Structure 1
Amino acid sequence: MSMARFSPFELVLLKSRSQVDTATLLLLAWVLVHRQHVSEGQRRRRLAQVTARFRHGHELGPVMGIAHSQDLQAIQLAAEILRKECSKERSLSVLHQSITVATDDGELSLANHYILRFLADLLNVTPTTLSTLFYELTGRPMGTPEDPSRHAYWQQHNPDYFSQKAHEAAAEQQAREAAERQAREQAEQREQKKKRRQQEKQRQQEQAHARKEQTRQERERQRQRDEQQRREQAQQEQARHERAQGGQRQSSYTPPPPDRTTRALAVLGLPPGASRGDVRLAYRRMAQLHHPDRFFSESEHQVALASARFQRIKNAYDYLMQTY
């Protein structure tokens, strides 16, 4: 069976020759550890003296260790053993020994005052019987224990109680303020780190945007250079083509025929660009010179030629008057 399942006091009980004596030993040790102004050596010697006739058969050290640890479950188990295994007289004897151990120096500590009442309750001893037994052993009434939860108790037993309380309150306030200040500083540090991260992220984004814009501009400049180069090549190609065509036109050049306006002006004897007034004057002059009536005495052939010339002059004049 695993020993880890047992408490320290249960292990002591398993090794004990008398569980009743071991239980009594623990209760007396519990009272002794609450004696004031007593060294550990004095406690052990007193416990050995009181329990000299016990038949527990083990060292006092483990029991004293359990008593110092304030193991209330072990204390309750010891009291249960005594209540079940012992008579009322034995329970009173244990309580008698506890009172004797608690009042060896003539004083009953506040802790032992409550411990004696607690043991009496565990051992089914009435408060009246406890008070009577205490009076018989000490010659003074047990009285009512002071309440350490009240300020009056500490004011009586410790004059510096309120100043200590004020000091403790001030220390707690300082601790709270320090904790709050530390929390604020940590929050500020986190905020600063967050802000720096945001700034770094924004800077990286701006750099990425700048690189992207620079790349776009470089591509645009390259596109413009390529476009300019293509235009120059096209112009050069067109110039070569025009030079080639120009050489062919010079080798077999045929001037274009004059247009109708130019021909009409030529009929009236006028150069290109003549004005409307010039056209009227030229028409009158040409009509007088080439009117068919002037050739009535000539042969029919001459009259026909004059009529044809006059008709060309009139047609040219009519056309020019319509277009000018």
Structure 2
Amino acid sequence: MSMARFSPFELVLLKSRSQVDTATLLLLAWVLVHRQHVSEGQRRRRLAQVTAQFRHGHELGPVMGIAHSQDLQAIQLAAEILRKECSQERSLSILHQSIAVATDDGELSLANHYILRFLADLLNVSPTTLSTLFYELTGRQMGSPEDPSRHTYWQQHNPDYFSQKARDAAAEKQAREAAEQQAHRQAQQREQKKQRKQQEKQRQQEEAHARQEHTRQERDRQRKQDEQYRREQAQREKARQERTRHEGARGERRQWQRTAPPPDRTTRALAVLGLPPGASRGDVRLAYRRMAQLHHPDRFFTESDHQVALASARFQRIKNAYDYLMQTY
């Protein structure tokens, strides 16, 4: 059978010749380990003396070790064994032995005060009976245990109580201040981290805005360049069309000039007389008479010599034209 499932006290019980004696031994050892100012050797000798008539058949060391470990489950198991296997008289005897062991030096420690009450409860012994047994053995009443949670207890049992309280308060204050400082530093770090995040976010927003503004300006500049280019293209196209139109007109004039026949002498002569091409011989005579009367030099004798010279030249052209036409018609 595997031993791993058994507790140390259960293993001791399995090896014991008398489980009742082993259970009683554990309870007495539990009381002894809470005796003040007693060495371990004295505890073992006292336990051996008290249990000299026991028939457990095993060493005391394992039981003392269990008592030192404060194994309450083992103690409760021991009490259950005694309550099941022992009579009320035997339970009182065990409690009597426990009181004797606890008060050997005349003093009852605070721990044993509670242990005796705990054992009495486990063994179904009433508090009144416990007080009676205690009085019979010690000759004094078993008062209420002192409360370690009260200041008066420590004032009586610890001369350094107030200085220790002051040190504890100072340490607590220092720890509290350190915690507050740590919390303050952490809050500052969180705030700084938050500010850095906000600054980084603001910087990113500003950069994004700057990029958008730069993109908008680039678009505007490109749009203006495109508009300027289109205007220049339109102007160049208009100028080209204008040049083409003028060149076409000049070409047409040059073509007309190249193709139109030069006016002949007859046409020029008719033009001098103010007649169109194809005029008749009679038209020539009438025109000559009219032009001669109008431009004869004698009419300008009162004018200057220059005016007279001009009139003579005009009249000579008229006469030459008339003479030529009369010869050719």
- For normalisation by structure 1, the TM-score amounts to 0.67
Asked if the contact 2:134/2:142 (under 8 Å) is kept, the reply is no
AA matched with 2:122:
L
* Matching of residues 1-324 of structure 1 within 5 Å: 7-138=7-138, 140-148=139-147, 149-252=149-252
CA RMSD of aligned residues (A): 2.9
**Residues 120 and 127 in structure 1, CA contact (< 8 A), matched pair in contact too:** yes
The percent of aligned pairs where both chains have the same amino acid is 83
**1:240 Cα deviation (Å)?**
1.9
Equivalent residue, structure 2, for 1:268: none
Q: Which amino acid aligns with 2:140?
A: P
Structure 1 position 214, deviation (Å): 1.6
* Deviation readout 1:108-131 (Å, 9 max, x if unpaired): 212212322332333233445444
Please tell me whether Structure 1 or Structure 2 has the larger radius of gyration of its CA atoms: 2
- Gaps of at least 5 residues in structure 2 are 254-329
Distance 1:11 1:219 in 2: 93
Relative distance call for 1:177 and 1:232 in structure 2 (3 A) is: same
Relative to structure 1, the CA distance from residue 127 to residue 218 in structure 2 (aligned partners, 3 Å threshold; closer, same or farther) is closer
Amino acid at match of 1:190: R
Decide whether the 8 Å contact of 1:146 with 1:153 is kept in 2: no
Gaps of 5+ in 1: 254-324
CA contact (8 A) 1:114 1:145 kept: no
Offset, 1:5: 6.1
Q: Deviations over 1:69-104 (max 9, x none)?
A: 433343233222112211233223322321232123
- Report the Cα offset of residue 152 of structure 1: 2.3
- Alpha-carbon distance between aligned partners in 2 of 1:83 and 1:176, rounded to the nearest angstrom: 51
User: Which residue is 1:291 aligned to?
Assistant: none
Change (3 A) 1:45 1:216: farther
CA distance in 1, matches of 2:99, 2:173: 44
Q: 1:52 to 1:207 in 2, by over 3 A?
A: farther
Structure 1 window deviating more from structure 2 (159-168 vs 84-93): it is 159-168
Distance 1:69 1:226 in 2: 96
Q: Comparing 1-10 with 25-34, which one deviates more in the overlay?
A: 1-10
Post-superposition shift, 1:172? Answer: 2.4
